[in-house]
């Protein structure tokens, strides 16, 4: 569930920015990221890669929002935000430390963390999130090219991608647990 909370700044941004309040959306997302990061630090938790990346992104987006015109920000902020998420997620996987690993380790027992499939499972989940971000990025580009499709490209497709990634995040570990429990019975 912690991985879902990590996306609270992004969700706040997407909702607020949808009303053409990009600067406000970026500022609120930055504030949410700071609060979540501060909460983790108060509870002596190490900062996670996606949390740090989120903080950096919204700090940068807030600064850019002050420097460029609203029309440019409105046109490109969704696409660049979704591309940023996809790149960060993919880089964490390719460097051997999927962003989902830090969240999964918090809720796992030492035995679970030591199991051979634990890292693989977090990588699979991270790839699903990466795919969702790529779909959202493509949808954002389509929204720029076809503004008349905005209900689909700004709402239906991105929300669908997020919901599928969230559902998979909950389902996959349970599925692996059922598979592992069934294995001894098959022998």
pLDDT tens for residues 45-87? 888 999 999 999 999 998 988 888 777 877 888 899 999 999 9
Nearest to 135, CA basis, from 68, 86, 63: 86
The three-state secondary structure class of 93 is helix
Q: What is the pTM of this model?
A: 0.90
Q: Is the dihedral of CA 47, 53, 155, 18 positive or negative?
A: positive
| Cα–Cα distance, 28 to 41 (Å, whole number) | 20
Given a cut of 60, is residue 186 above it in pLDDT? Answer: no
Q: What is the largest CA-CA distance in the chain?
A: 65
Are 118 and 64 contacting, i.e. CB atoms less than 8 angstroms apart? no
- 5 vs 148: which has the higher pLDDT: 148
pLDDT of residue 184: 67
Beta-carbon contacts of residue 29 (< 8 Å; ≥ 6 apart): 9, 10, 12, 13, 16, 54, 58, 61
Sequence ranges of the domains in the chain: 2-179
pLDDT digits (tens, 9 = 90+) for 124-182: 999 999 999 999 999 999 999 999 998 999 899 999 999 999 999 999 999 998 988 88
Nearest residue to 10 (alpha-carbon basis) of 83, 107, 103: 83
pLDDT of residue 15: 87
- The candidate with the shortest Cα–Cα distance to 167, out of 132, 119, 143, 116, is 132
CA distance 98 to 163: 20
What's residue 1's pLDDT? 56
Alpha-carbon distance of 41 to 1, in angstroms, equals 18
**Distance from CA of residue 123 to its chain's centroid?**
14
């Amino acid at each position: 569930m912690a991985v879902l909370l990590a996306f609270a700044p992004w969700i706040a941004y997407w909702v607020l920015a949808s009303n053409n309040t990009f600067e406000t959306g970026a500022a609120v997302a930055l504030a949410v990221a700071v609060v979540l990061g501060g909460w983790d630090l108060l509870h002596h938790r190490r900062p996670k890669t996606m949390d740090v990346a989120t903080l950096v992104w919204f700090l940068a987006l807030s600064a850019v929002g002050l420097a460029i015109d609203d029309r440019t920000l409105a046109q490109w902020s969704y696409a660049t935000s979704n591309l940023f998420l996809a790149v960060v997620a993919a880089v964490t996987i390719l460097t051997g430390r999927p962003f989902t690993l830090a969240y999964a380790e918090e809720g796992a027992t030492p035995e679970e963390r030591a199991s051979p499939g634990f890292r693989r499972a977090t990588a699979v989940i991270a790839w699903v999130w990466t795919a969702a971000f790529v779909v959202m990025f493509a949808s954002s580009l389509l929204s720029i090219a076809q503004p008349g499709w905005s209900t689909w490209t700004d709402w239906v497709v991105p929300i669908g991608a997020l919901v599928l990634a969230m559902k998979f995040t909950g389902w996959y570990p349970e599925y692996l647990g059922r598979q592992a429990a069934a294995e001894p019975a098959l022998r």
